[in-house]
């Protein structure tokens, strides 16, 4: 204590900080101190406001935080006194805040022995609330080379526990809190900060569940990036479970002062603490040979990447990028090409995407890597894949070369023919002859030169509408995707967005449908001059928001199986009161 007091005297500390440090000098682990939780609460706020402030970490308080966590876990009498039930959460969160940005603080915390106490919280020895704070702090340690080994000594256990959290955290939070009538008081207080009722608590529970998942994925990414425990991470069931949770929405992401807004949460990819998570893990796995083979083994994972490559959100390029890595590897090319060729061929005319230039060229070059040598060995790929490769070769190589020499006279003649055929198609469509209209739009497309990008956007979009009218969502998605690939900027044609959203809805692809709806509204707002969003679009959004709600699957399971939810009295350390029985 003399050392701490001396260090305190040498630092320029505020009165609040001095009071906190004196509390630690005076044995914060004593059994009966009703003020201790107030000190931890103040320190918790200070750590969030000033995570880079070196004054308190210099007082060697990390060891005290660790001891408080252990005391909360193993001393039932103490944790049930006063408001001590809050202390383990505060202590773990404080550790995470001070180690978030500064490797020096992380090294001090590891030397103070905080990792074993955090591991006990990660093991679920208290509740999901404390697990969230624990996995956050452990993720910080794992992200620094200097402190990674402190977490890596628990490698297999950390991997197993985080994989379980990633796949089950939504159902756990729903079953242990959201669906519970007799909620734990300290959980409610932490979530709502004493303000608001059940609605505020539910909103924060959604936020915290998403954070728990994406911080867990971040921790897993730290191991995957070092190619550690890939045999566990590449377990087929886990990867497929991860892909099923790539996209989620929150129940209150509908309106923000008179404006529609939506937060796309792909395993936390839009969450503030980590810019990428679920898809980033897939990308990291694709960097190693064993990872690429493991990813390619799952048809579901590849299909997820393919669907992502044809969405209208900012993560579209991530899906494309992962597929291109897999297609460039001879060991995984054939298996991935069999699934992805029909998706990627729709994107070969994309120009710029998310700041990346010549995306379509990169796609076509990858598709055609071995095209010329396969002209001799035509049995390498299936008939369907070979047909797609032939189409890509004709579009990106043959037509590009021949149309360079098109005269202005020929160009204008083609443009006239395109317009005439389109007009005939429009007349057929408006008089109810949908199949005949489809034929006319196809003929018009055949007349188009590659330079006629605007005309082709309209024709592909109109043909997509014909397919929708005929109840054929797959070709409707294909044509609307091609229209969006040709639009400038990419994914900006509002009619194609709405038509593809409808087609995705017909196929039961709620997340993809919702993303196109959101992009449609964005384009509508920029061009409608204040006209309200059509009601049928709003109905579609409400429908897909419900389907992609983060707790949708968990609520269905509980309702279908009549599973009894947990109550606040199920775990003695969660009550905040001593059980007299």
CATH of the domain at 483: 1.25.40.10
pLDDT at 30: 61
CA pair distance 97, 392, nearest whole angstrom: 52
Centroid of chain to Cα 54: 33
527: containing domain: 407-448+452-546
Residues 57 and 84 in one domain: yes
Residues 542 and 555 in one domain: no
The secondary element (H helix, E strand) that includes residue 523 is helix 510-527
| 358 falls within a domain | no
In order, the DSSP letters of 403-467 are GGG--HHHHHHHHHHHHHHHHHHHHHHHTT-HHHHHHHHHHHHHH--TT-HHHHHHHHHHHHHHH
pLDDT at 59: 66
CA pair distance 253, 99, nearest whole angstrom: 31
Could you give the residue ranges of the DSSP H alpha helices within 277-407? 278-286, 289-296, 299-309, 316-328, 333-344, 359-367, 371-374, 383-393, 399-402
Residues 75 and 201 in one domain: yes
Largest CA distance in the chain: 95
Residues 576 and 534 in one domain: no
Identify the CATH number of the domain in which residue 202 sits. Answer: 1.25.10
CA pair distance 517, 262, nearest whole angstrom: 10
The secondary element (H helix, E strand) that includes residue 554 is helix 552-561
| 352 falls within a domain | no
| 378 falls within a domain | no
Residues of the chain with pLDDT under 70: 1-32, 59, 248-276, 376-378, 560-581
Angle at the Cα of 337 from the Cα atoms of 334 and 342, rounded to 5 degrees? 155
Residues 41 and 120 in one domain: yes
Q: What are phi and psi of 248, to 5 degrees?
A: -145, 155
Residues 95 and 204 in one domain: yes
CA pair distance 296, 290, nearest whole angstrom: 10
CA pair distance 550, 251, nearest whole angstrom: 8
| 383 falls within a domain | no
CA distance to 324, 359, 390, 490, per residue, from 397 (Å): 19, 16, 10, 22
CB 152 within 8 A of CB 220: no
Residues 471 and 564 in one domain: no
| 258 falls within a domain | no
Percentage of the residues of the chain whose pLDDT score is greater than 70: 85
CA pair distance 222, 306, nearest whole angstrom: 25
Could you give the residue ranges of the DSSP H alpha helices within 62-154? 62-74, 76-79, 87-98, 103-111, 115-122, 128-143, 148-152
CB 174 within 8 A of CB 555: yes
CA distance to 118, 129, 144, 145, 155, per residue, from 150 (Å): 11, 23, 10, 10, 10
- Determine how many CB atoms are found less than 10 A away from the CB of residue 347: 23
Q: Residue 252 has which token pair?
A: 């209150």
Q: Residue 427 has which token pair?
A: 């007349």
CA pair distance 158, 121, nearest whole angstrom: 12
pTM of the model: 0.87
CA pair distance 354, 367, nearest whole angstrom: 21
CA pair distance 119, 155, nearest whole angstrom: 11
| 379-435 pLDDT per residue, tens | 788 999 999 999 999 999 999 999 999 999 999 999 999 999 999 999 999 999 999
Length of the chain: 581
CB 428 within 8 A of CB 436: yes
CB 90 within 8 A of CB 44: yes
Q: Residue 245 has which token pair?
A: 């949770």
| 264 falls within a domain | no
Q: Residue holding tokens 């569940």?
A: 209
Tally of domains in the chain: 2
Residues 127 and 218 in one domain: yes
- For residue 501, give the nearest of 546, 550, 465, 527 by alpha carbon: 465
Q: Residue 43 has which token pair?
A: 């320190």
Contacts with 247 (C-beta within 8 Å, 6 or more apart), sequence order: 264, 265, 266, 511, 515, 548
- For residue 437, give the nearest of 471, 466, 477 by alpha carbon: 466
CA pair distance 92, 68, nearest whole angstrom: 9
Q: Residue 454 has which token pair?
A: 């605007």
CA pair distance 291, 359, nearest whole angstrom: 24
Residues 183 and 227 in one domain: yes
Residues 466 and 581 in one domain: no
Residues 137 and 185 in one domain: yes
| 190 falls within a domain | yes
CA pair distance 106, 322, nearest whole angstrom: 33
CA pair distance 207, 242, nearest whole angstrom: 18
Q: How many CA atoms lie within 13 A of 335 on its CB side?
A: 16
Centroid of chain to Cα 138: 20
| 77 falls within a domain | yes
CA distance to 12, 36, 51, 224, per residue, from 24 (Å): 18, 9, 19, 39
CB 239 within 8 A of CB 182: no
Residues 221 and 170 in one domain: yes
CB 506 within 8 A of CB 470: no
CA pair distance 268, 281, nearest whole angstrom: 12
Could you give the residue ranges of the DSSP H alpha helices within 225-315? 230-233, 236-244, 278-286, 289-296, 299-309
């Amino acid at each position: 204590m003399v050392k701490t007091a001396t260090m305190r005297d040498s630092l320029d500390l505020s009165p609040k900080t001095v009071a906190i440090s004196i509390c630690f000098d005076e044995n914060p682990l004593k059994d009966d101190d009703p003020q201790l939780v107030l000190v931890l609460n103040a320190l918790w706020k200070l750590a969030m406001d000033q995570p880079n402030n070196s004054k308190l970490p210099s007082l060697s308080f990390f060891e005290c935080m660790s001891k408080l966590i252990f005391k909360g876990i193993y001393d039932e009498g103490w944790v049930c006194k006063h408001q001590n039930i809050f202390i383990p959460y505060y202590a773990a969160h404080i550790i995470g805040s001070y180690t978030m940005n500064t490797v020096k603080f992380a090294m001090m915390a590891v030397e103070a022995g905080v990792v074993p106490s955090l591991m006990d919280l990660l093991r679920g020895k208290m509740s999901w609330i404390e697990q969230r704070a624990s996995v956050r702090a452990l993720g910080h340690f794992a992200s620094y080379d200097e402190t990674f080994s402190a977490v890596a000594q628990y490698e297999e256990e950390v991997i197993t526990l985080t994989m379980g959290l990633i796949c089950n955290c939504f159902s756990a939070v729903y079953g242990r809190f959201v669906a519970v009538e007799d909620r734990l008081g300290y959980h409610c207080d932490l979530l709502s900060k004493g303000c608001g009722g059940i609605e505020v608590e539910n909103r924060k529970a959604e936020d915290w569940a998403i954070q728990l998942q994406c911080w867990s994925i971040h921790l897993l990414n730290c191991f995957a990036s070092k190619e550690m425990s890939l045999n566990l991470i590449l377990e087929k069931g886990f990867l497929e479970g991860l892909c099923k949770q790539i996209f989620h929405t929150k129940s209150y992401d509908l309106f923000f002062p008179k404006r529609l807004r939506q937060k796309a949460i792909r395993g936390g990819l839009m969450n503030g603490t980590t810019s990428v998570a679920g898809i980033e893990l897939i990308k990291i796995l694709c960097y190693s040979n064993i990872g690429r083979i493991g990813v390619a083994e799952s048809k579901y994972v590849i299909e997820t990447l393919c669907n992502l490559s044809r969405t209208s959100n900012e993560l579209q390029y991530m899906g494309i990028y992962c597929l291109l890595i897999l297609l460039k590897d001879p060991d995984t090319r054939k298996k991935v090409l069999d699934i992805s060729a029909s998706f990627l061929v729709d994107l070969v005319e994309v120009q710029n995407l998310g700041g990346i230039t010549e995306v379509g060229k990169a796609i076509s070059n990858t598709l055609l890597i071995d095209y010329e040598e396969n002209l001799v060995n035509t049995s390498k790929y299936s008939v369907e894949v070979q047909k797609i490769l032939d189409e890509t070769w004709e579009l990106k190589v043959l037509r590009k070369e021949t149309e360079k020499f098109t005269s202005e006279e020929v160009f204008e003649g083609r443009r006239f023919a395109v317009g005439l055929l389109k007009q005939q198609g429009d007349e057929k469509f408006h008089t109810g002859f949908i199949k005949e209209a489809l034929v006319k739009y196809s003929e018009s497309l055949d007349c188009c030169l590659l330079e006629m990008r605007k005309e082709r956007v309209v024709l592909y979009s109109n043909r997509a509408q014909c397919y929708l009218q005929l109840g054929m969502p797959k070709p409707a998605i294909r044509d609307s995707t091609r229209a969006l690939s040709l639009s400038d900027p990419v994914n900006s044609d509002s009619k194609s967005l709405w038509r593809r959203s409808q087609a995705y809805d017909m196929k039961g692809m709620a997340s993809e449908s919702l993303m196109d709806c959101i992009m449609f509204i964005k384009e509508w707002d920029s061009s409608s001059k204040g006209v309200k969003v059509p009601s049928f679009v709003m109905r579609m959004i409400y429908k897909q928001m419900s389907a992609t709600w983060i707790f949708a699957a968990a609520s269905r399971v509980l309702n279908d199986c009549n599973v009894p939810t947990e109550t606040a009295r199920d775990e003695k350390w969660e009550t905040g009161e001593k059980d007299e029985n």
